[in-house]
Structure 1
Amino acid sequence: MTELVLKIGVSDSDRTRPIANGEVAIEGVKADVTFMGVQALFNQQLTKHSFDCCEFPLATYLRTLERPDRPYLAVPIFPSRHFRYSSVFINTTKGIEKPADLAGKRIGISVFDMAAAVWLRGIFEDHHDLPRTAPIYVAGGLEVPRTGDEHPQFYPDRFKHEERLDKSLAQLLAEGEIDALYTARAPSTWPSPTVARLYEDPMPAELAYFDKTGIFPPMHVLAIKRPLAEANPGLARAVFEAFAKAQEIARAKLYDAVALSTMLPWQLESLLFAEKRLGKDYWPVGFAKNKAMLEIIIRYMQEDGLVTTAFKPEDLFEGDILET
């Protein structure tokens, strides 16, 4: 594989910086890395397709596999993972104490197919007695009124949908015009007398979920433009190996307590706690270790009606990546 310049768009994290600063090289590649906030990154990639290789919304990637051109090819690197129990906000006057209380309630959501919402709908139905179709979903902008979808959205008919273009979801929640909010980013109206999290201490619920399922839910995947990957055999594997190495370096820096690599005062203790409760490989890379998780998110996407194809985890990747 001859060296090629690869334009890479990712969020700024300890898992991606080793690629950007040259600490880890991608074999046969000169990496041209751009850091962007995730929503701006996704909006740009899904409208302008600016990057050859990009951190990509996982649920949206699954949807692209139903397009005739199948424009992207993923590698089993998941730059962002998050337990999302902490991402449900409620209006405190509505008597909502548990997920099942959201049945019949109006839930704000800025991007219907974002992985955070797909996971929450599935988890709450599977484990907390809230059928995914029971609430009413209200589309809008999180902090400013929405003028249109930043990237094309699909709202399956099986759900009850509304749209609010006059106020932000953060304002609607604070004023009680919606009852709850599913969001990857906390609204500016939290904390306040009328806005709280459904789980003010989410860790026990999230640990219980992990104990039951073994899943630390991924939000994003790494994807390469398919024509580029097909024209350069070995590129996908080289990208995978480099980002896997970058993740190893990120973990090593958390473990090194000589000078803290983050502002967390108990950084090492937090790492040790996570590895004790979740296992040392709690952020797995590769196909084999993520296969069971992928079966779940595929099922959730089908049950949402966001995809119609009965994908298998193997359908998300190609070639020797399936051996990882």
Structure 2
Amino acid sequence: MTGRRPFSLACWDYDRTRALADGTVVPEGIDLTYLPMAPEETFFRMMRHREFDAAEMSLSSYVLSLEADEPPFVAIPVFPSRMFRHSGIYVNARSGIRHPGELAGGRVGVAEYQLTANVWIRGILAEHHGLPVESVTYVTGGLEQPGRIEKMAIDLPGDIRVERAPEGRSLSALLDAGEIDAIYSPRAPSVLGNGRIVRLFADWPAVEREYFRQTAIFPIMHVVVIRRELYERSAWVAQSLLKAFDAALAKTRENLHEVTALKYALPWLVAHAEETEELMGPDPWAYGLRPNRETLATFLRYSAEQGLAQTRRDPEELFVAATLESFSV
């Protein structure tokens, strides 16, 4: 007997969590079972069935879960997935659409309206590219397989138009056939690269760097949640997990700058890391509320403006209070 609490964590196989998965970092008081699963499966199983003690979770889904009379989760300020999303807008080259404003009046495929990536894309296009959220019709369904549904019920205002994809049709097939004008997606559609489907922003890395220079926002996609009833019985697990995630992230930072032998299969890994830090600062993946408050506030504003969150929250309301304070000796 170890005296540690058995604890399950579902989270994808990230470099920044690998030390948790392989046991190099052991959370205090916890006997961790790390289940490396793709985000879509993790989110669905946690949101629908509460299968794990803790899990990586869509930021959007978590924010919406707080609207319940008895919210099922609490969160810690750990963000295993962050990504700029200008690269996630795909159009049919034959449509002639070259600029975001040309999507006005069109039809845009989204796997789910409430997906975090789609909240960011709609917000960025509205705020920085003049494409109002309500100016397009959203078509929901599976990117590659027909029939995908929203993980949770959403109640949108009347000026937001959402319709289901035709039965038996995937979003990729609809875009390839020219039956929708674009897809917003965290995953690239299989038809990208067939000569007909292209990204709306051709030089998306340059666009995303400029977006960061203007806003200092590195969009947060996922957060780590704990089942509320478990947290209420054992509140200490929140701090234990936060410290462990932070220790695992520190090991990844070290690996990015290791020059004796490259830890990752990128020839100019160290140069890329140095270039990124020159633009974004020494710790762009930092956890905790303080370095991420404005990014979270922007997301919460977008969620409310897009008819998703009914309650306009402050970032502090998202996380276990104890994880917002720093311990020092």
TM, length-normalised to structure 2:
0.95
Alpha-carbon distance in 1 for matches of 2:181, 2:267:
36
1:159/1:18 Cα in 2 relative to 1: closer, same or farther (>3 Å)?
same
SS of 1:181 mapped into structure 2: strand
Please name the residue that 1:249 is paired with: 251
Q: Is contact 2:7–2:53 with CA below 8 Å preserved after alignment?
A: yes
What are structure 1's unaligned runs of at least 5 residues? none
Superposition map of 1:164-175 within 5 A:
164=165, 165-175=167-177
Q: Distance in 1 between matches of 2:198 and 2:172?
A: 12
Q: Does 1:152 align with 2:152?
A: yes
State the match for 1:35 in structure 2: 36
Partner residue in 2 for 1:12 = 13
Deviations 1:115-152 (A, max 9, x none): 10000111111111010111110111100111x52622
Q: Which residue of 1 aligns with 2:183?
A: 181
Letter in 2 for 1:32: T
Q: Secondary structure at the match of 2:69?
A: coil
Q: Secondary structure at the match of 1:119?
A: helix
CA gap 1:182/1:153 in 2 versus in 1, 3 angstroms: farther
Deviations 1:208-238 (A, max 9, x none): 1111111100100011111111211321111
SS at match of 1:125: helix
- Distance of aligned partners of 1:153 and 1:109 in 2 relative to their CA distance in 1, 3 Å threshold: farther
Aligned residues: 322
Q: Does the 8 A contact of 2:53 with 2:227 survive in 1?
A: yes
Q: Which amino acid aligns with 2:257?
A: Y
Give the aligned partner of residue 303 of structure 1: 305
Alignment of 1:93 onto 2:94: yes
> Partner letter of residue 247 of structure 1?
L
Checking the alignment, whether the CA contact within 8 Å between 2:113 and 2:150 is kept in structure 1 is no
Amino acid at match of 2:311: T
Give 1:321's aligned residue: 323
- SS across alignment from 1:133: helix
**Equivalent pair of 2:109/2:141 in contact (CA under 8 Å):** yes
Which ranges of structure 2 fall in alignment gaps of 5 or more residues?
none
CA distance in 2, matches of 1:207, 1:119: 16
RMSD value over aligned CA atoms?
A: 1.3
Structure 2 residue 79 is matched with structure 1 residue 78: yes
**Per-residue displacement from partner, 1:242-290 (whole Å, max 9, x unpaired)?**
1011111111111113332222221111111110111112112101111
CA distance in 1, matches of 2:119, 2:301: 10
Pairwise mapping of residues 87-236 of structure 1 onto structure 2 (< 5 A)? 87-146=88-147, 148-149=148-149, 151-154=151-154, 156-157=156-157, 158-164=159-165, 165-236=167-238
Tell me the distance in 1 between the aligned counterparts of 2:265 and 2:203: 21
Superposed displacement of residue 193, structure 1: 2.0
Q: What residue is the counterpart of 1:259 in the other structure?
A: 261
Which of 228, 237, 240 in structure 1 is aligned with 2:239? 237
Partner Cα distance (1:155, 1:207) in 2 = 34
Bigger shift: residues 122-131 or 251-260: 251-260
Instruction: Indicate the residue corresponding to 1:49 in structure 2.
Output: 50
Change (3 A) 1:155 1:95: farther
Pick from 277, 280, 291: which aligns with 2:279?
277
Provide the C-alpha distance between the structure 1 equivalents of 2:36 and 2:139, rounded to a whole number of angstroms. Answer: 31
Aligned residue type for 1:59: S
Q: Which amino acid aligns with 2:106?
A: K
- Contact 1:288 1:323 (8 Å CA) reproduced: no
Q: In structure 1, what is the Cα distance between the partners aligned to 2:184 and 2:155?
A: 16
Stretches of 4+ aligned residues off by more than 4 angstroms: none
Question: C-alpha offsets along residues 131-175 of structure 1, whole Å, 9 cap, x if unaligned?
Answer: 0111110111100111x5262242513311121122111111111
Check conservation: 1:20, 1:33, Cα contact below 8 A.
Answer: yes
Give the conservation status (yes or no) of the 8 Å contact 2:112–2:150. no
Paired with 2:150 and 2:60, the residues of 1 have a C-alpha distance of 16
